[in-house]
Structure 1
Amino acid sequence: MATTPLSAETTRDVESFVSQWVRDEGVPGVSVAIVDKTDVLYTNGFGARNLETNAPATPETLYGIGSCTKSITTVAILQLAEDGQLTLDDSVDTYLPHLREVNADPITIHELLTHSSGMPSDGSLSALITRLTGRSEQDPNQPLSSDDDFRRHIEGSVDERLTDRDRFFYYNTGYYLLGEVIESVTEQSYAGYIRDRILEPLAMTRSLFSKTDFEAVENRMTPYNREDGTAVEGKLAFDERLYAAGGMISSVTEMANYLQMFLREGTFDNQEILSSESIDSMTKPYATREEYLDEREQGYGYGVAVEAFLDDTLVNHGGMMGTTTAWFGYLADTGIGVVTMCNTAPEKRPSDLGKALLAITQDEPPSAVVPTYMLEQKAEPLLGEYASYHDIRTATVSKNDGGLNISFDDPGWSADHYVYPKRLQSDDYQYSFITDTGKQVPVEFHVDDDGVSMLFQRWQLHKQ
């Protein structure tokens, strides 16, 4: 059943946007929750959790949340730090042998939390997810079936570490190792500790990790792959070695409780899960993950990304496990958060949807503030067929990720160019590309009441 204390107008805008997203992205089913510090403002499901039976997605439907689990693992590590059982400056070598042979200084727990150890991805979790979700044609046949396999794989990768620069590498294996640290310190299974110290106090009693527990639940997602524009039933990845980096299963209803814990500075139902000081340290950026075209940086704290958004600070994380995707995020000052989960991996991810819904709650059109939709709106009027004076040269402009493909198919002049935008703003139509001689060539579009024209090197072409 839906919960809707949002205004009628905002509710209509939210539901219209999500419904359109489901149609446009070919998503079988998605569930959404919107919360503030005190209330669940909105929950609902859209589409089917199972296409064959047409069973609906609901707020209680269980999905794989992928790398959103990293923040759960972080909470556990910070709890152990508060309890005096470890410190974030501890070398991982204190607890595990996997990285003892790395060059330069030993790698610390802090560096694993922030993906700042200098270790690039070793591909272990990607390879395992590929195998477990049935993509056998892409399986690199790496032995990854036991803890010893993982240890040998990680030990063999230590020479890959970069120490001559500060570089953010999203290192899934680091969170696998943090899960191992939790087990070493507590002498308890990772899943058992998370259940006892985090899930039960947050009333997240349906959240789980194992395949057996998942298949015992009726209201659960059926995973789907996207193949040639069609949803084809796939598999969900289950393995204990995936748990700490991306293996939790949950619902938007229960992850709403988790978000409220952050909005309440570490407490839920009068229980302190983390101190407010630990919440502050977790949500402070320590490394730069990426930079947007408008020069905003997406930082990374402990298990969460941190960035400027809607004149606020957005704390968030996404997750993808091949056939399931999820995202959570909240505006720190405004005090409102969103959780989105779906049962496939669409081109526009739940992270794009979630940011759009935050924008709608703040009366902002997503196309004005969410980069994915800003770039889409920028591209929309430019797509189509173009011709120069007397049709001597013609071109086709099509969308390609955040940029455009410009294809010329004229005798003696055939060429394909990928052009990328110079700025993020949706009304700025300046693009450029790099030639094989290393030159940066501007491509400029003009959009007005008379139509659309493109300036490309010596040519002016007009949209037909």
Structure 2
Amino acid sequence: MDTERLEEFILERMREFKVPGISIGIVKDGRLVYARGFGFRDMEAGLLTTPGTIYGIGSITKAFTALSILKLAEENRLNLNDPVEKYIPLRLRPFGEPVLVHHLLTHTSGIPALGYAEAFINGVLGLKSNLLPLATPDDVIAFMRNAEEWAVARPGERFFYLNEGYVLLGKIVSEVGGVTYEDYVIKNILKPLGMGRSYFREKDIERDSDVAASYIVGKGGELIRSRFPFGVTSDGGLLSNVIDMSQFVDMLINRGSLGDARIISEDYLELAERKYIDVPWKVIGDEGYGYGLIVSNEFFGRKLIYHSGDILVHTAFMGYIPTEKLGVIVMSMTENYPPTRIGLYALSLILNHDPTKELRVFREEEITRRLEGIYETYGGTVRVTIKRQGDYLLIIDTTRYTEEVTILVPEEIRYDYARYYALINGTRIPAEFYIGSNKVYLIYERFKLERKGPT
């Protein structure tokens, strides 16, 4: 693998998107063959990141929750087609049809996201005033009493990513397993895999010396010191590190076992790795959801299984290709640049593919970077700034007293040409970029503008 190119890519994105620290690990043929940290785990103290730096892995926790449910099903202690209300005191019958355990695992309950996690995190971190202090799964159950009335589809019909559903699954693990969800995962997954520095509880984190600090990037791009939102549970509450997570990924690659530890049978693991329903966001193009895992069958002709996580102050990615015995773990501070992209970039390089040419997301990222800059009309009579914001471009026209911002929505992006459109007074106005080796021109409304330099 071209580690120099990967490292250059990571450092460029850290600089551009103001990411203080990132850790990455690559698993191949049962070994952690590459692991390193970039940047700082604590900017103020000048402490460096390492492969052992601990971050919140967010929704990758869902893979641990799904495996716990599957393990209980394998032991005949529950059935995936049982109604949820069999295990917890909550009626969930959208349009009169019961929500099954399977529906929670696949986010197909028919109930759109209720926003508990977003409100909890924003409230705990003091970002918004709508604090939702749901301290336990029982609080979430009480919060969901009328959730079936919020449904827009029958169970199994549509995908709606539902954090609350995975909180309910954690409660089922606790009820059936006879211990708390956290203790069940520790006993049945973390300890057997030797993941001794993976934690759910704040008191355990406080005893560890290699933990990533928490930052939020402010409106002006400044790093604001924050704290980790402890209290999220089976939908996104696990904290771990690249070294520990390499053990988890290696177990998945090895079909449910690692060394002498058998976590789940191959048959039940493969239930988790099936596509049950398409997801609306597609980085590769054919993704669907399994049980706590996202599945693509078209990653350079191979089956890729992955999941990402975002707990606002930390983000993460886990992906693996069983046939290649290959996996990648990425952990990052702040949510400004998706670690999923770093993971897919690394996997592409390992498979001897050029991600900037062969994966749409990187091709478009590279092209739109070229489109940013200061643009002028003939004689410099009109000057505007083109700036990226997520998947969009912004036209920014600034005077001494005012600033007008127009959003450009992408329609077609190629290396030599890109077409966007703006909505002005209810009318679609095309914006066409002609991209040459040395010059970029923009045709927009009645103007032709030439890119004169960077922003």
TM-score of the aligned structures, taking structure 1 as reference length: 0.89
Task: Give 1:26 shift.
Answer: 2.2
Structure 2 residue corresponding to 1:32, chosen from 24, 40, 46? 24
Distance 1:318 1:426 in 2: 29
Q: Residue in 2 aligned with 1:54?
A: 46
Secondary structure at 2:330's aligned position in 1?
strand
Q: Does 1:322 align with 2:283?
A: no
Q: Residue in 2 aligned with 1:444?
A: 432
Structure 1 residue corresponding to 2:350, chosen from 334, 343, 361? 361
Task: Give 1:381 shift.
Answer: 2.4
* Structure 1: gaps of 5 or more residues: 1-6
* Structure 2: gaps of 5 or more residues: none
Distance 1:293 1:357 in 2: 15
Distance 1:249 1:339 in 2: 13
Secondary structure at 1:422's aligned position in 2?
strand
Task: Give 1:249 shift.
Answer: 1.2
- Alpha-carbon distance change, 427 to 170 in structure 1, aligned in 2, over 3 angstroms: farther
Distance 2:148 2:344 in 1: 37
Q: Could you report, residue by residue, the CA deviation over 1:124-170 in whole angstroms, capped at 9, with x for unpaired residues?
A: 122222233x22x5031335234543222111332111126933211
Task: Give 1:238 shift.
Answer: 1.5
CA contact (8 A) 2:123 2:132 kept: no
**Greater shift after overlay, 37-46 or 359-368?**
359-368
Q: Could you report, residue by residue, the CA deviation over 1:20-68 in whole angstroms, capped at 9, with x for unpaired residues?
A: 3333332222211000232211011122222233222111122111111
CA contact (8 A) 2:420 2:430 kept: yes
Secondary structure at 2:144's aligned position in 1?
helix
Structure 2 residue corresponding to 1:397, chosen from 386, 402, 417? 386
Q: Does 1:176 align with 2:167?
A: yes
Q: Does 1:272 align with 2:258?
A: no
Q: Residue in 1 aligned with 2:448?
A: 460
Distance 2:40 2:382 in 1: 48
Secondary structure at 1:245's aligned position in 2?
coil
Distance 1:243 1:426 in 2: 44
Partner letter of residue 226 of structure 2? Answer: G
CA contact (8 A) 1:37 1:264 kept: no
Q: Residue in 2 aligned with 1:193?
A: 184
Distance 1:126 1:119 in 2: 16
Distance 2:16 2:404 in 1: 30
Q: For 1:303-342, what aligned pairs fall within 5 Å after superposition?
A: 303-307=292-296, 308-342=298-332
Q: Could you report, residue by residue, the CA deviation over 1:322-351 in whole angstroms, capped at 9, with x for unpaired residues?
A: 211111112343331110112x32321222
Q: Residue in 1 aligned with 2:339?
A: 350
Q: Residue in 2 aligned with 1:75?
A: 67
- Alpha-carbon distance change, 355 to 38 in structure 1, aligned in 2, over 3 angstroms: same
Q: Does 1:103 align with 2:91?
A: no
**Percent of counterpart pairs with the same letter?**
29
Q: Residue in 2 aligned with 1:213?
A: 204
Partner letter of residue 456 of structure 1? Answer: Y
Distance 1:425 1:255 in 2: 37
TM-score of the aligned structures, taking structure 2 as reference length: 0.90
Task: Give 1:97 shift.
Answer: 1.7
CA contact (8 A) 1:355 1:370 kept: no
**Greater shift after overlay, 389-398 or 443-452?**
389-398
Partner letter of residue 407 of structure 2? Answer: Y
**Greater shift after overlay, 182-191 or 216-225?**
216-225
Task: Give 1:407 shift.
Answer: 4.1
CA contact (8 A) 1:25 1:346 kept: no
Q: For 1:359-438, what aligned pairs fall within 5 Å after superposition?
A: 359-389=348-378, 394-407=383-396, 416-423=405-412, 425-437=414-426
Q: For 1:81-230, what aligned pairs fall within 5 Å after superposition?
A: 81-100=73-92, 102-132=94-124, 134-135=125-126, 137-163=127-153, 166-227=157-218, 228-230=220-222
Cα RMSD for the two superposed structures: 2.5
- Alpha-carbon distance change, 168 to 388 in structure 1, aligned in 2, over 3 angstroms: same
**Greater shift after overlay, 46-55 or 179-188?**
46-55
- Alpha-carbon distance change, 176 to 381 in structure 1, aligned in 2, over 3 angstroms: same
- Alpha-carbon distance change, 391 to 121 in structure 1, aligned in 2, over 3 angstroms: same
Q: Residue in 2 aligned with 1:11?
A: 3
Q: For 1:254-293, what aligned pairs fall within 5 Å after superposition?
A: 254-292=244-282
- Alpha-carbon distance change, 386 to 366 in structure 1, aligned in 2, over 3 angstroms: same
- Alpha-carbon distance change, 368 to 264 in structure 1, aligned in 2, over 3 angstroms: same
Q: Could you report, residue by residue, the CA deviation over 1:46-93 in whole angstroms, capped at 9, with x for unpaired residues?
A: 222222332221111221111110001011111111111111111101
Distance 1:452 1:229 in 2: 27
CA contact (8 A) 1:386 1:461 kept: yes
Q: Could you report, residue by residue, the CA deviation over 1:386-426 in whole angstroms, capped at 9, with x for unpaired residues?
A: 3444556554322121121224579xxx9643222224655
- Alpha-carbon distance change, 206 to 362 in structure 1, aligned in 2, over 3 angstroms: same
**Greater shift after overlay, 80-89 or 348-357?**
348-357
Secondary structure at 2:197's aligned position in 1?
coil
Task: Give 1:453 shift.
Answer: 1.8
Task: Give 1:442 shift.
Answer: 3.3
